[in-house]
Structures are given as C-alpha cells and as structure tokens.
Structure 1
C-alpha cells in the first residue's frame, strides 16, 4: 500500500512537472552530456536493457545531475516514451544531440546515434579547449594590467602629484593622461563596472539575433583570410551532421530538414529553407548546395559524384575526416598569427604604462640636478 502511494505521488509529481511550462530545467554542459552518454553506451554494449542501465546509473552515480537526469528519463520511459523522446522531453540536452538520439532511437539505431553524439561532443570540447588556450593569455594579461592601473591610480600617482607640486614641476603629458584615466576609473568604478556588464549583455543579445549572425557570416565570407577556414568548418559541420542523420536511419530529405533546424549557420538555414520544395521534388543535393556560399567547391564536386553514383554515405565519411583535419590545421595556422599579435598589443600597453611611471622620475631627477 505504501509503495503504491509512493508510486502514485511520484507519477502525479511528473505530470505536474510536465504540464507546468514555467519550470526552468538547467541545460547540461557538453562535458556532462558526454559523461552521461558514455555511461549509457558502455552499459548498453554489455547487454543491459535501457531501463536497467538508467537504474544502475541512478543508484551508483555520485553526481547529483546524473541522478536527476536518470530519474527523469526512467519516469518518462515508464510512461511509454522511447529513450529519444524522453531525452527531448527532459529539455536538458543540446538540440543537435537530442535530434541524433531521437531519430536514431526511432529507426532502431540507438547505439549508433549515441556513438555519433559522443564523437561530436568530444570534438566540440576539444575545439573549445584550444580556443580557451588562446584566450587565456590575453585575459590574464589584461586582468593584470587593470589591477596595475587601479593600484597606480589609487596609491602611486597621488604621490607623484605631491612630489611634483613640492618642486613646482609639471608632470609629463603622458603621465597626466594615464593619471586622469585611472583617477576617473577609480572614482567611478561601480558605474564603469555596471556599464561594462550592460555592454557585455547587449553584445551577447545583439550577437544572438539572426540578423546579426547573418551579417557576421557575410562579413567573414568577404575576406579570404577568414573565408577559407570558415567554409572548411561549415563544410565539416554539414557533412558530419548529414552523415550522422543518414547513419541513424533518416532519409535524405528528413536529414536536411533536421540540419536546417539545428545548424548554427543562418546562411545554410536560409538556403535549405528556400530550397526544401525543390529537394522534395527530387532536385539533386549538389544543385541545392551550389546556392550556399559557405560550402566549399571541393565538397560540391564530391557530392556531385555521390549524386551520380549513389554512394553518398561513404563519400560523406571520407569528407568528414578530410575537413576535420584540414580545419584543425587552418586553426593552428591562424593561432600562430594571433598569439604574436596579442603579445605586441599587450607590450604596447605595458610600454605606455612604464613610460608614464618612469618619465616623471627621470624628469624630476633632471630638475633636481
């Protein structure tokens, strides 16, 4: 009786949770998604059922987020939903990963879709780690410079002013400029900090707007220095997603609709949306992609061959590996130029600060002598 009451209250809770739309469920990070899917894949490959896999993860995991997810998923599955549908209803996973799992589960290729999801997550995490390495150096240097300017404006420059006033000397112009800037920042620090946060929020808000994303893509495509690595990346993304959806059992038209829904490129979204009727009527894939400027010419020629031979999956697999390696090499080459440029920029700022500090001392020494 007690067990039945517990089950009833548990079911009632999930019905309420499902129907109340304003409950915000936190999204998982890519690292958390990867951890969860690797655990599920390992258990499924050892021959366990999906329900027993989720139950085992729930009772053995030390992670609260993993316990929460498995609890949600077990209850959705008990209500009759498939695993991919349960993932979608949990609203915890990335849209692309969700579509992989939902489509793979519906077509009987769940393990394959989990493997593809893990592969994509690992690559995304690796790419972000490489970009963080580049961003870490300027962030540390800029933070140090801000602290130096703050301390200089708070403690050092007032002493310079008193010292020069006692000798009836005039501060050098560069020192006056630095002094006025730092003094203004120190006095109005809260206001500047609030303005900085508002600016960051506006940039993120404006940057996420479709119109802004489209314009940024158009700008990238106008400059050869950015165009080649960007088209390589987008070609890799398209070929990987198409290979994954086809591999999970989806038809070509359905796969293109899923890509149109989940890609982060608004240029590709627009092209697929405008040509979906043509695709439905039997237009060849390379004819559609020819209208998309972010797809490389080499890839188009390969797709043209695939349209003629019908060997699309193998050609996609070859291109995924090729463009992945090519993009990684272009990114490494780009970083070779970025790091020295950042170093020079930081050196100029440090040089100005050093001059602002040293010139008054030299000038005052000359005056005294």
Structure 2
C-alpha cells in the first residue's frame, strides 16, 4: 500500500536510542516491561515513538512477548532492534541486550552523522553554484539577449546554449521543476515497491565513483559489528548471520552475504563462505580463519568490525577532498560557458567595428 507506506515514519534515531537506554535501565531496576513502555510513551516528545510504544504496551498487556509485538513495527524500529530484543528474551538478559543495542545504534547513528557533516560543505557549494548560475541565466543573460539580437549575426555555440537555457528557465522553469518533482516521486515509488528496480539501482550505486566505497565499507562495518555482538552473546553463527544480513540495505551486497549463510548451513567454514563473496581482503579471511581455529571467533570478528569502521572513517574524512576536483570542474565549466557565451559575440562585434 503506497499511501500506507507514505504515512509510516521511522522514529528519530536519537529518540529511539534514548528510549532503548531508558528501557534498559528500567528493566535492570526490576520494573515490568509494560510499566516501562507506558512511562516511555508518556514522557517522550517523539510522536511516532509515543504511538509505537503505546501499541507495544497494549500488546504486552494482552500477553504477547516484546519481540513478537515489535514485529508489527519493523519499519519504525528496524531489524536490529527486534533481533537484539529476541536475543535478550532467549538468553534471559534483556537489559544487557538493550544496553548493547543502544551502543550499536549510537555507533551506526554516529557514522550517519559523520557522513552528513562531510557532505555538508560540498552540498552547500553545489547549491550556491546552482543558485548563482540560475540568477545569471534568468537576470543577466536577458540583458545581453537584446543586444545580441540587434547584431543580427551568427552567434557562437556557447552563446546559443546560454540563450536556449535562458529561454528554458524563463518560459518553462516552473514546468521543469514540476516535472522533476513528479519524476523523482515516481522513481522513489518504483525503488520502494519494485525489488528488481531497487536491485538495479543499487548495482548502479556500487559502480559509482566514491559512492561505491562508502556503501561497501559502511555495509561491512555494520554487518561485522552486529555479527560480532551476536556471536559474543552466544548466538549460533547461522542465526547471527541471518540477523546481521537483515541489517543490510544494498540488495547486491545482501545477496552476496546471504550466500555465506547458505554455505555455513551446508557445512562450510565461515571464512570459506566469506572468501567466496570476494568482498573481504585476504587479511580478513585469515583473521576469521584464525578465530575459528582458536575458538576466539567473536574477538576476531570484533577486530574486523573495528578495521572496517576505520576504513569507513578514513573515506568520510577524505570525502570533501575527493569531491573538490568534481566541484572545480563543474564551476570551471559554468564560468567558461558564461564567459564565452557573453564575451565572444562582443569580441566579434569589436573586431567587426575595427575592420570597418
């Protein structure tokens, strides 16, 4: 249901993390889950969280388990939240699982915030460039347009491009914006509702400059983080893989890592399954193999998670520097187009006057 999905809203990450920590503290203090959920729903300012936790408390009061109740709110709460609550219920240490969940959500949120901060500068520069170019095309170029028309001469290509853009902006600008909005809405709908289209789009992203490495290392960092926490808690490897894989958004990467689950289920070792995906360096495969042989798999996978977090952080730290050449190229192209488009006809006109 498209409109049903449109009405759904994920809970703000900071509100969810705070509520999970509060639930962990109250559970550890011996307060019932029902009373804890009611208190959190009552005190929170996040309306989506208030609604979800209110429904959860009603389900708990009807005799359902917390994890079972959360299944109805997978979109709002996320797969990791449900998986960690299931883990806590299985082990009997719900408060410990909630504390670990809050820590993982905090780390995932920190990565997202770091990425957004890194993108803020190039995004603002690009917006400023777009606004400046639009103003020049809409208000400056028309002043030269009349002069060019009076020349009644063959105009150079850059000038023709500028005049075409000016005509498009001033006569069809609103229609273009509406068309772009409709196209974006349709594209977003197709991405959200067609798995094949979403898979194809994700493949395109994995072939795109800069975006490819960001997606790969962010995915592997999250995957190994969740997987290490689950096997450290004593969850079987196959189940831990299922939960960690459910956290992955990129479908091609999800398919590759799902093959690890299949391989392990058929009796292959974890490091062999990881090796077959061709996503992990040889060093990582050797670390996992050593962890399997020595019985310290959780420790080794935790170190792998730290390694991929370090790689992700390094990419984000160098993101602005990597994007700068692209911005300079775009800026230079705009300046050259404007300069040639405006001054070439004037130069030709000057030469013609001197020739007389």
1:288 aligns with 2:273: yes
**Partner Cα distance (1:282, 1:103) in 2:** 24
Contact persistence 2:10–2:48 (CA under 8 A): no
Report the counterpart of residue 110 of structure 1 in structure 2: 94
In the alignment, the residues of structure 1 paired with residue 17 and residue 213 of structure 2 have an alpha-carbon distance, to the nearest angstrom, of: 30
Structure 2 unaligned segments of length 5 or more: list them.
none
Distance, in Å, in 2 between the alignment partners of 1:112 and 1:217 is: 37
Given candidates 74, 87, 92, the residue that maps to 2:70 is 87
* Residues 224 and 301 in structure 2, CA contact (< 8 A), matched pair in contact too: yes
Provide closer, same or farther for how the CA distance between residues 229 and 180 of structure 1 changes in structure 2, counting only shifts above 3 A: closer
Instruction: Write the distance in 2 (CA, Å) between the matches of 1:306 and 1:338.
Output: 38
Match of 1:290, SS?
Answer: helix
**Per-residue deviation, 1:153:** 4.1
1:313 corresponds in structure 2 to 298
Which structure 2 residues correspond to residues 175-186 of structure 1 after superposition, within 5 A? 175-186=159-170
1:212 corresponds to 2:200 = yes
Q: How many residues align?
A: 346
Instruction: Indicate yes or no: 2:239 matched with 1:251.
Output: no
Q: Structure 1 stretch 179-188 or stretch 130-139: which is displaced more? A: 130-139
Which has the higher mean CA deviation after the structures are superposed, 58-67 or 160-169?
Answer: 160-169
Normalised TM-score (structure 1): 0.77
Q: CA deviation at 1:178?
A: 0.8
Provide closer, same or farther for how the CA distance between residues 117 and 283 of structure 1 changes in structure 2, counting only shifts above 3 A.
Answer: same
Q: Does 1:127 align with 2:117?
A: no
**CA distances 1:145-177 after superposition (whole Å, capped 9, x unpaired):** 444444444433333233345566775542332
CA RMSD of aligned residues (A): 3.5
Measured in 2, the distance between the counterparts of 1:164 and 1:102 equals: 72
Cα separation, 1, equivalents of 2:323 and 2:6: 43
Residues of 1 paired with 2:344 and 2:18: CA distance?
Answer: 56
Write the distance in 1 (CA, Å) between the matches of 2:205 and 2:146: 54
Deviation at 1:81, TM superposition (A): 1.8
Question: Alpha carbons of 1:288 and 1:145: their partners in 2 closer, same or farther (altered >3 Å)?
Answer: closer
Question: Which 5+ residue runs of structure 1 have no aligned equivalent?
Answer: 1-20
What per-residue deviation string (whole Å, max 9, x for no partner) do you get for residues 323-342 of structure 1?
21233123323442223432
Whether the 8 Å contact between 2:118 and 2:320 is mirrored in structure 1 is yes
TM-score by length of 2: 0.80
